[in-house]
Structures are given as C-alpha cells and as structure tokens.
Amino acid sequence: MNLLKGSVLLKLAALAVAIMMYFYIHNEIYNTENDSATDASYKLIKLTAKNLPVKVRLETTPPDGYKILDQEVTVTPSHVTAIGPEALLENTLNASTSIVDVSENTKKVTKRVPLESVAGIHLVGDPYMVEVVIPIEKIDSDKGPAEQSQPVSPDNFTGTTTQ
C-alpha cells in the first residue's frame, strides 16, 4: 500500500494501464457482437418470409404442327409466400411448379399442379397448388419457317404470370 501513497508516476502509469484495458475490452465486446450478426450459422436459425414469383416448368413440347404461345402462359397465383431459414431464402429466386406435360395437347391446357418443395422451406398452404393455363395453337402452314415461332423449352420460356 505504501507504493501508491508516494509516487505520482506510479499513479499515472496505473491510470494509463486502466484506460488501455478499458478500450481493449470495449473493442473485443464490439467485435464479438458484429461477428455473431454475420455468422452463417445465425442465418440458419433465423426464420424469415419471402414473396416468390411462380415459375412454370415445361419440359415437353406439343405434337408436331402445334406451338405454345409462351407469352400468354399464365399461373394463378403468380406469387407465393415461402417461410424458412434466412440462409436458404436469400438465394431462392422463384417457386417452381411440378413438370407440366403438354406433349399430347393440341389446344389450351388448364391444370392445377403442385409447387415443388424444397427441403427447409415451407410454402404457405399445404400442399400448395397453382392453376396453370398454357395456350396451344396450330402452326399456320402458309407461313415460312422464319415466321413460325420456336417451340418453348425450359431454356427459352418467358411466360407471363397473373395474380
């Protein structure tokens, strides 16, 4: 105890060490809080909801001589709400229907189809069904090949959706 009574230099050194220790501990606490907010495991636990557009999966084409009017393909509802871990939903761009087969259809097709499920993501409604309308028309034989539209494939489908 006698050391602290006499020397002003020791008192200033003790004060300096205490101040440095305060800022060091404060900085460690701040960094720990920021690291936990960006930790990927945190995103697996945190549930969130996201409104996703519905994408129609057409893996087949109509019979020869017929085409899908891809700009007029509709799905109702056009958006669904998905609930799941933030880490899974942040990279999810859409909800897909099950495959719609139009290989034997020669006129407009209206089907109720389920949405594909993804592990860890719950779509509101159980099971969630959507109505898909796919207009098909006969290719006019008077038109040359350049005027006929290309059949719809999964790569070039750009159908519209309605609510």
Q: Which pLDDT score is estimated for 19?
A: 94
Strand partners, 81: 51
> What is the rounded CA–CA span in Å between residue 111 and residue 79?
17
Q: Are 162 and 74 in contact (CB under 8 A)?
A: yes
Per DSSP bridges, beta strands 95-100 and 47-58 are: parallel
* Structural domain spans, the chain: 2-38, 44-138
Instruction: Give the chain's end-to-end CA distance (angstroms, integer).
Output: 80
The ranges of the chain with pLDDT < 70 are 1-6, 33-44, 125-127, 142-163
Reported as a single tens digit per residue, the pLDDT across 67-81 is: 888 888 889 888 888
Q: For domain 44-138, say whether CATH 3.90.10.10 is its number.
A: no
Could you write out the DSSP letters of every residue in 97-150? EEEEP-TT--S-EEEEEEBPPBTTBEESSTT-EEEEEE-EEEPPTTS-TTTSPP
Query: Residues in the chain, how many?
Result: 163
Q: Which pLDDT score is estimated for 40?
A: 61
Q: Are 163 and 79 in contact (CB under 8 A)?
A: yes
Q: Which pLDDT score is estimated for 36?
A: 55
